[in-house]
Amino acid sequence: MVAKSGKASRGVSARPSAKVGQKSSAPSGTDDTPPGAARATRPGKSAAGKSVADRKAIPAEPFAGRDASWIEFNRRVLGEAEDATNPLLERVKFLAITASNLDEYVEIRLAGLLQRTEDGHAEAGYDGLPPARSLSILTAEVHRFVADQYRCWNRMLLPEMERNRIRLLTWTKLTPGQRKTAQTYFQREVDPLLTPITIDPAHPFPRVLNRALCLAMLLRPKRRRSGPSVLGVLTVPRALSRYVRLTDCEGGCDYLLMQDLIARHLGGMYRGYDVLASAAFRVTRNSNLYFEEEESRSLLESVRSELHNRRKGDAVRLEIAADAHPEIVERLRVNFELEEEQVYRAEGPVNLARAMFLYEDARRPELKFPAFTQRPFTLSRTAADIFAELRQRDILLHHPYDAYDPVVDFIRQGAQDPRVVAIKQTLYRTSTDSPMFQALTEAAAQKEVTVVVELMARFDEASNIHWARNMEDAGVQVFYGVVGLKTHCKLAMLVRHDEDGVTRRYCHLGTGNYNPVTARFYTDLSLLTSDSTLTDQVHMVFNYLTAHAEIADYSPLLVAPLTMAERFLELIRREGDHARAGRKGQIVAKMNALLEPSIIQALYAASQAGVAIDLIVRGVCILRPGVKGLSENIRVRSIVGRFLEHSRIFHFANDGDPEVYLGSADWMPRNLFERCEVVFPVRDEAVRERILGEILPACLADTVKARLMQADGSYTRKTLAADQTPFNSQEFLMQLAEGKATGDSMSGRVLAGPGK
């Protein structure tokens, strides 16, 4: 992509370094020049002393490209849409997810690269490429990906949908009755919401909202048929579905695209014009959220202001119907100041993300994954309530296989129990009708309630501002965390005067957001505990979040940006020391993304020492596995399936005395140095055994939804021998939750534990 000259900077904010308050020059929204890169030596140097042959085997750039890795991840999701073994409507959903993922990627990552290029940054990314070169390569790759999306839609999904009597029709294919239905719907529900605009000196080009579906028309005044054509623009209200249900016949349904319905009625809206051509289009804008906190009266007002400014971001992508008239395309391109390579032709509906409507609207359970019953939680016979239970043992919940209700009930009981005198909780993202909000606000009338709200949870800022205001009005003490750092840790603490006269803290520590909705399809882990070794330190973390009261050591918790990065490095190095001494060294780590160079270098060194390393990384990974002389003992796999893999688990074998950690942080610069994060140890032996004997082995045994990363950054499925049975980890864990399978299925796959 060619950078445009003369444009103003799009507002690059400074990145906080590992120490709060210090800033570096790396632009926000890129993560391509992370703080860890400056602190750590390049991993290629760690191979000094190896043979010449070994050194030649090490690639010039020991890191893969972050953006290329992201494209590979979205291709894995697209692979689920293409996979005929998945139910049809689930495939439609996967395709919609790829489009939603791509939207966020374009308006954040691709926009950030464009921003860096225009601002003159030349620093190379992880893969050694400068921003301008990366931008050019990735733009071409995104075009190929879009072509593959529509190929999947047109050649795979649409024909299969039609065979299953779910039809997407054009106006000419409608029956007379369907046309009457569509016209009536347009007149009653659609036309009153539309505002047609003609572009002329009195009516400048309207401010097109980010990612809003629009129609552009070439119009010629009927009174001046020989004159030049003018452009008309119409925005489709977001409240309207992009698919109009026409017929709900037995076992099937017909739909019409909203853009086609509106296009059919343009003549009635532009009565003084001949409509020469029309095309649906959509503009994506730079949505980097940035601000300088020291120049703002408050963090809340800063985010409120930026939410308004976000609407005014520069355009970075134009999506338009592939058959659009060239003059329409050119006028829009010039108006939005885009290069030709920033124009994307849609060989189907503009905005495939809205195809999610078909998944939700079609009442065809046989075309979706079979219903799944979550495992309910029950108290022990000796426990009168959750507090008595937690005084006996820790509780581990593996969502969505285990119901999320106990987490909600934990907060509700804390709100209702008169013995609970204080509640503290962090909120990053939650649902719009969260039962936790009601519990917290009701509790505020009778006890001390403190909530740390993260206002800058990307794309959820408006919702979080709403929650913060309402909780403050109800008497909740609301804080916004440490200035310059997002609060991403998942913590809740109840302080209770127990029946025995002792005041105890009861805590929930998790890997996922306090959101009962996403807990149904995100895999996450919740630990409920009264272990004072943990709860006392959770108390200190809350003091850090509300009073900035920092202490030197939060052990056994790992707290970012204070102690987490260095402690992870120590744990990785310890496994290397074990291996070099002839003892067993093993690391199994599960996370969403792996980007931090210092962590990767430590893993490379551990691999060279003989440590067996298995990484389960759902998304972006810039580590190169299996490279001779560098990472021969490292394997990386990604699992993309029915549920979104979101839990973070870190296992260090420690020569038979294993340590297992769970938490909210990935091995990324932003998690380790730019956010308040907490990773916590699993101290209860039974809980640890479940992780080492059930959860991690199932992930490592997956041969159906797991893809193995190659040294060049590509992913392949594992080839099974003729006598091997395919194994789907998520299916197994669902069967285990429903009592249709037993832990014996994982026999022989248990990771190293005490005495093993």
pLDDT at 646: 97
Whether residue 443 is contained in a domain is answered as yes
How many C-beta atoms surround the C-beta of residue 169 within 10 A? 19
Q: Which residue segment(s) compose the domain that 577 sits in?
A: 558-746
Q: Which of 121, 398, 488, 646 is catalytic?
A: 488
For residue 458, is it within any domain?
Answer: yes
User: Would you say residue 461 has pLDDT above 60?
Assistant: no
- Alpha-carbon distance of 37 to 42, in angstroms, equals 8
Return the CATH number at 180.
3.30.1840.10
Instruction: Tell me if 420 is assigned to some domain.
Output: yes
CATH number at residue 696: 3.30.870.10
Q: Are residues 641 and 499 in the same domain?
A: no
172 in any annotated domain: yes
- Residue entry with tokens 């939750």: 737
Task: Give me the chain's average pLDDT, please.
Answer: 86
Residue 46 has a pLDDT of 37
Same structural domain for residues 454 and 600?
Answer: no
With tokens 């999320």, the residue in question is: 404
For the whole prediction, is pTM greater than 0.75? yes
Examine the residue annotation and report whether 651 is marked as an active-site residue of this protein. no
Final residue in a domain of this structure, among 515, 547, 579: 547
512 and 621: one domain? no
- Indicate if the pLDDT at residue 732 is higher than 60: yes
According to the model, what pLDDT value does residue 742 have? 78
Residue that the structure tokens 């129609």 belong to: 215
The secondary structure of 245-298, three-state, reads: EEECCCCCEEEEEHHHHHHHCHHHHCCCEEEEEEEEEEEEECCCCCCCHHHCCC
**Confidence band for 474, pLDDT divided at 50, 70 and 90:** confident
**What pLDDT is attached to residue 25?**
33
Q: Can you give the pLDDT at residue 39?
A: 37
User: Is-contact 592 566, C-beta < 8 A?
Assistant: no
- Assess contact for 300 and 461: CB atoms under 8 A: no
Q: Does residue 506 register a pLDDT over 80?
A: yes
Q: Do residues 683 and 718 both lie within one domain?
A: yes
187 in a domain, yes or no? yes
| Number of separate domains in the chain | 3
pLDDT score at 236: 95
Q: Are residues 541 and 562 in the same domain?
A: no
Q: What is the mean pLDDT of residues 702-716?
A: 96
251-279 per-position pLDDT tens digit:
679 999 999 999 999 999 999 899 999 99
Range name among 8-22, 476-490, 511-525, 616-630 with the lowest pLDDT average: 8-22
Distance CA(72)–CA(501), nearest Å, equals 57
CA–CA separation, 90 vs 642, rounded Å? Answer: 8
Same domain assignment for residues 415 and 491? yes
Neighbour tally for 433: CB within 10 Å: 9
Identify whether residues 209 and 344 lie together within a single domain: yes
CA dist 593 and 595 (Å) reads: 6
Is 332 in the same domain as 306?
yes
pLDDT average, residue stretch 537-550: 94
Q: Is residue 375 part of a domain?
A: no
pLDDT of residue 567: 98
Q: What is the mean pLDDT of residues 318-342?
A: 96
330 in the same domain as 239: yes
Q: Which residues contact 604 (CB under 8 A, 6 or more apart)?
A: 43, 46, 62, 623, 630, 631, 634
